Amino acid sequence: MKPIPDQLLAEPGRAHGEATGEPTDVVRRSLLQWFRGLSPLFAGLVIVPTLLASLYFGFLASEVYVSESRYIVRSPSKPNLSPLGMVLSGGNIVGASEESEAVIKFLGSRQALETINQDGYVTRAWGNGSIFWFDRFGYLGKDTGEDLFEYFLGKVTANDSSSTMVTVLTVKSFDPQSAQTINRRLLEQSEVLVNELSDRARRDSIAFAETELARARQDAQNAALALAAFRNREGVIDPELQASAGLQMIGKLQDQLIASQTQLLQMQTYTPQASQIPYLRTQISNLEREIAAQTAQLAGGRGSLSSASVRFQELRLASEYSERQLSTALSAYKEAQAEARRKQAYVERISEPSLPDDAAYPRRLRSILGTFVLGLLAWGVASMLLVGVREHRD
């Protein structure tokens, strides 16, 4: 790169004895010589990009306004906390990380764009003819739905803080009102989404509790019917109680048998010709048959009370278990209903969408200087590469 000739540093009037402020032929020739002496590489990588950047950022680029809002997704403390966690949280309202992440994903989705652009407002705001053609949506025929979604992703950002759980929603547009309106629409749709997620979770919870309650009721009913059918079939109410009564009966019969046998023995010893001896023998025989019958009924074969007691115990335990399951399911259903009456998650706005009063972009001077610096870096790297290639050839 050649230095600027001294003639360019001198005032035209003093160099030629003239007071006029217009360039002289000498100055024109000096400028031409200076530009001709510039390296084409320097001109292509530094001067031309800087001039184009100056033209675009200085005169052509449309002003971009940024609307910002802040919100947090809150929900009641989760019920599955440990006892220590429940004491520390105190049942307070806390940030809902899952719902917050879902909202952020939604804000960058096609569904969010389609919802806020149902009336075409977003397309009109970003594709207005007053916007410079290179900046607006739809330039060079890129006006498809996919093009709009890509353009949307470049204008809308949602960032959250893991420590505060606060999400910052920013929207860029080419006038303050549209930036604020689009931001407000996205925020409203976020609230709708969180409410839908909460309603769906509540419905699923209640539906599951209702299903479990219906199943428990059916099991309890089946167990009760099975127990009733067993009692009707076997002709017993409670085998244990009946067995206890049977044992008492056998005990009484045995007492009578012993008394009759004792009386018979005495008569045979002292009055063998007594007329009561045949009666006592008949009575003893009847008592023995009755005791045998009662014993067979209690501990005999398949039809005995002992065998019926085993099956009765199984059915009674099943009935008691189903009753406990029904009680548990009923408690869970009531708890699910109580939980459903609370709003599990909601969007709390910390700051409403702002109405910007000044354009945030483009940052004209910074962009021009950045282009110039990058051009210098590219020119320096390219120059060193060319020098290396020449030295290698030599």
What DSSP string describes 329-362? HHHHHHHHHHHHTS---EEEEEEPPP--SS--B-
Taking a C-beta distance cutoff of 8 angstroms, is the pair 294, 246 a contact?
A: yes
Which H or E run includes 272? none
Residue 241: per-residue pLDDT: 59
Residue 346: per-residue pLDDT: 87
Please, which residues have CB within 8 angstroms of residue 383's CB and are 6 or more apart in sequence?
A: 39, 41
29 inside domain: no
142 and 175 belong to one structural domain: yes
Query: What angle, 0 to 180 degrees and rounded to 10, lies between the N-to-C axes of helices 305-340 and 239-270?
Result: 160
Q: Phi and psi for 76 in degrees, rounded to 5?
A: -60, 155
78 and 166 belong to one structural domain: yes
39 inside domain: no
58 inside domain: no
12 inside domain: no
Instruction: Quote the number of domains for the chain.
Output: 2
- Last residue of a domain, which of 314, 338, 362? 338
315 and 198 belong to one structural domain: no
135 and 180 belong to one structural domain: yes
- Longest distance between any two alpha carbons in the chain, whole Å: 183
Taking a C-beta distance cutoff of 8 angstroms, is the pair 171, 66 a contact?
A: yes
What three-state secondary structure class fits 76?
strand
334 inside domain: yes
State the Cα–Cα distance between residues 147 and 301, nearest whole angstrom: 86
State the Cα–Cα distance between residues 191 and 55, nearest whole angstrom: 43
Please tell me whether the peptide bond between 362 and the residue prior to it is cis, using omega within 30 degrees of 0: yes
Q: Cite the DSSP H helix spans in the chain.
A: 6-9, 12-16, 25-37, 40-42, 48-55, 83-89, 97-107, 110-116, 121-126, 145-155, 176-234, 239-270, 276-299, 305-340, 364-393
Count Cα neighbours of 126 within 13 Å in the Cβ-side half-sphere. 26
334 and 246 belong to one structural domain: yes
196 and 254 belong to one structural domain: no
183 and 313 belong to one structural domain: no
197 and 281 belong to one structural domain: no
The range of the structural domain enclosing residue 284 comes to 235-338
The Cα-based distances of 306 to 206, 211, 291 in angstroms read: 45, 39, 16
Whether the predicted model's global pTM rises above the 0.85 cut: no
**Given CA atoms 331, 334, 336, 342 in this order, what sign does their dihedral have?**
negative
194 and 240 belong to one structural domain: no
User: Which structure tokens are listed for 23?
Assistant: 């360039």
Residue 335: per-residue pLDDT: 86
- pLDDT tens for each residue of the chain, 394 residues long: 444 444 444 444 444 444 444 556 777 777 666 666 677 888 889 999 999 999 999 899 999 999 999 999 987 654 444 443 433 344 444 455 788 899 999 999 999 999 999 999 999 999 998 999 999 998 877 889 999 999 999 999 999 887 788 999 999 999 999 999 999 999 999 999 998 988 888 888 888 888 999 999 999 889 888 878 877 776 666 666 565 655 577 677 777 778 878 887 888 777 877 778 788 788 878 877 777 676 666 555 555 555 566 677 787 788 888 889 999 999 988 888 887 777 678 899 999 999 999 999 989 899 999 999 999 999 999 989 988 888 777 6
State the Cα–Cα distance between residues 289 and 142, nearest whole angstrom: 107
299 inside domain: yes
98 and 156 belong to one structural domain: yes
Q: What CATH code is carried by the domain that includes residue 170? A: 3.30.70.1130
312 inside domain: yes
From the list 15, 37, 39, the residue with the least C-alpha distance to 25 is 15
Residue 304: per-residue pLDDT: 52
38 inside domain: no
201 and 242 belong to one structural domain: no
80 and 200 belong to one structural domain: yes
State the Cα–Cα distance between residues 286 and 294, nearest whole angstrom: 12
Taking a C-beta distance cutoff of 8 angstroms, is the pair 174, 64 a contact?
A: yes
Residue 285: per-residue pLDDT: 82
Residue where the block lists tokens 């115990």: 313
What three-state secondary structure class fits 66?
strand
